C-alpha cells in the first residue's frame, strides 16, 4: 500500500517498506508484526526457509529470535526457542522428547498446572511418578528401564522446595535420562541449571524474567540438537511466541 499526502506524493511508505533513505540503525529493536514477508517466487520462499529467514511468523520472527538469543546468552546454552506461555514451553518440551511407553519422574511440589499436564500424558501411554525430589533415595527407587526424563523446578512454586540439580543430573545421566529444570523462580540471573548438569532449562518469562507484568511467554534452552527436535514439533503445535510479547520481554536488555 502507498500512502500519499495532499500533493499526491508518497510519504513515509513505498509499497509496504519504510523509505530506505529515511532509516538509520535504530537504537531499540523494531517491532516486526507482519505475519508474512514478501518473496519473489517459490525458489525465493524455499531459500528463505532454508536460511531460517523471515517468511511466516509461526516459523520465524525477528523479535522472537531476539529474545531467544538473549535467553541463550543468559542461560549459557547453545540455543533456545520462545513459546507463547510457560505452560507451552513445558508441554512442547515433554511432547517432543517423550514417546509412548516412556516413564517420567517428577517432583511432587511442582507448579500445579505442570502436575496436571504431566498427568494428562498417561493418555499417550507415558507414565509419571511424583516424588520428593530432595530425597535422592526415593528418586532412585522409582527410576526404571523406561525412565527418560527427571523433571523438577529449581525452587518450586509454591512450596519453595530447593532441588540439588547437580545430584539429580548425575542420577538422570546414569540412567540415560534427561534432566529438565523449570528455572522460573530463580531466572538465569540467579541460577544456571545447564551449568549444573541439566539438559533442558525452561522459564516462564511471564514472571520475574520479564518483570513488568505485561506478557505471557516461555523459553526453552538446551543443546542445539535438543532444541532442533523441540522446534520441529513447536512449529506443528503452533506454540511459538508472539512478536509483541517478545518485543516487550526484550525491554529487559535495552
Ligand atoms: C514455576 C512455574 N512454571 C510454569 C508456570 C507457567 O507459566 P505461564 O503462566 O507463563 O504459562 C508458572 C506459572 O505460574 C510457574 O510458576
Whether 12 and 115 map to the same domain: the answer is no
The 10s digit of each residue's pLDDT in 40-65 is: 999 999 999 999 899 999 999 999 99
End-of-domain residue from the set 60, 87, 110? 60
- pLDDT of residue 78 exceeding 60, the answer is yes
The 10s digit of each residue's pLDDT in 190-240 is: 999 999 999 999 999 999 999 899 999 999 999 999 999 999 999 999 999
Give the span between the Cα atoms of 102 and 194, in whole angstroms: 23
Q: Which residues pair with 181 in a beta bridge?
A: 152, 201
Instruction: Give 253's DSSP letter.
Output: G
User: Closest by alpha carbon to 153, among 113, 102, 213?
Assistant: 113
Task: State in Å: Cα 111 to ligand 1 middle.
Answer: 7
- C-alpha separations of 202 from 5, 42, 159, 181, 210 in Å: 49, 36, 19, 6, 14
Which residues constitute the domain of residue 25? 1-60
Whether 147 and 192 map to the same domain: the answer is yes
Decide: helix, strand or coil at residue 63: helix
Task: State in Å: Cα 124 to ligand 1 middle.
Answer: 23
Q: How many domains does the chain have?
A: 2
End-of-domain residue from the set 60, 76, 100? 60
Whether 51 and 145 map to the same domain: the answer is no
User: Closest by alpha carbon to 60, among 40, 34, 39, 86?
Assistant: 34
Pairwise pLDDT comparison (17 vs 75), residue with the higher score: 75
Whether 13 and 124 map to the same domain: the answer is no
Q: Is the dihedral angle over the CA atoms 82, 84, 89, 95 positive or is it negative?
A: negative
Residue recorded with cell 542445539: 224
Whether 46 and 124 map to the same domain: the answer is no
**Mean pLDDT, the chain, whole residue set:** 93
| Domain CATH code at residue 238 | 3.40.640.10
Whether 43 and 95 map to the same domain: the answer is no
Cell of 100: 509412548
Whether 117 and 145 map to the same domain: the answer is yes
Strand-strand pairing, 200-204 and 218-222: antiparallel
* Closest atom of ligand 1 relative to the 216 alpha carbon: 10
Whether 101 and 177 map to the same domain: the answer is yes
Query: Helical H runs in 76-135?
Result: 86-97, 112-120
List all residues whose CB is within 6 A of at least one atom of ligand 1.
85-87, 111, 114, 153, 157, 182, 184-185, 204, 206, 216, 218
Whether 96 and 164 map to the same domain: the answer is yes
Q: What pLDDT was estimated at residue 2?
A: 47
Amino acid at each position: 500500500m502507498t500512502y500519499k499526502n495532499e500533493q499526491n506524493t508518497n510519504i513515509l511508505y513505498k509499497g509496504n517498506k519504510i523509505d530506505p533513505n529515511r532509516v538509520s540503525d535504530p537504537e531499540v529493536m523494531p517491532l516486526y508484526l507482519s505475519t508474512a514477508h514478501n518473496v519473489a517466487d517459490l525458489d525465493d520462499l524455499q531459500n528463505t526457509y532454508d536460511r531460517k529467514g523471515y517468511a511466516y511468523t509461526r516459523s520465524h520472527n525477528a523479535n522472537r529470535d531476539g529474545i531467544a538469543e538473549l535467553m541463550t546468552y543468559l542461560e549459557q546454552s547453545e540455543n533456545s526457542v520462545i513459546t507463547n506461555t510457560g505452560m507451552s514451553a513445558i508441554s512442547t518440551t515433554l511432547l517432543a522428547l517423550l514417546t509412548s511407553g516412556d516413564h517420567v519422574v517428577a517432583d511432587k511440589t511442582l507448579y500445579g498446572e505442570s502436575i496436571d499436564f504431566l498427568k494428562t500424558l498417561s493418555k499417550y501411554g507415558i507414565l509419571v511418578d511424583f516424588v520428593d525430589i530432595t530425597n535422592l533415595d526415593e528418586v532412585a527407587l522409582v527410576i526404571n528401564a523406561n525412565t527418560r526424563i527427571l523433571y523438577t523446578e529449581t525452587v518450586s512454586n509454591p512450596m519453595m522446595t530447593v532441588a540439588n540439580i547437580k545430584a539429580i543430573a548425575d542420577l538422570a545421566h546414569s540412567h540415560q535420562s534427561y534432566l529438565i529444570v523449570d528455572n522460573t523462580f530463580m531466572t538465569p540471573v540467579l541460577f544456571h541449571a545447564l551449568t549444573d548438569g541439566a539438559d533442558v532449562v525452561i522459564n516462564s518469562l511471564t514472571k520475574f524474567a520479564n518483570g513488568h507484568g505485561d506478557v505471557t511467554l516461555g523459553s526453552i534452552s538446551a543443546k542445539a540438537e535438543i532444541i532442533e527436535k523441540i522446534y520441529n514439533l513447536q512449529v506443528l503445535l503452533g506454540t511459538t511466541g508472539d512478536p509483541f510479547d517478545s518485543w516487550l520481554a526484550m525491554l529487559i536488555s535495552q
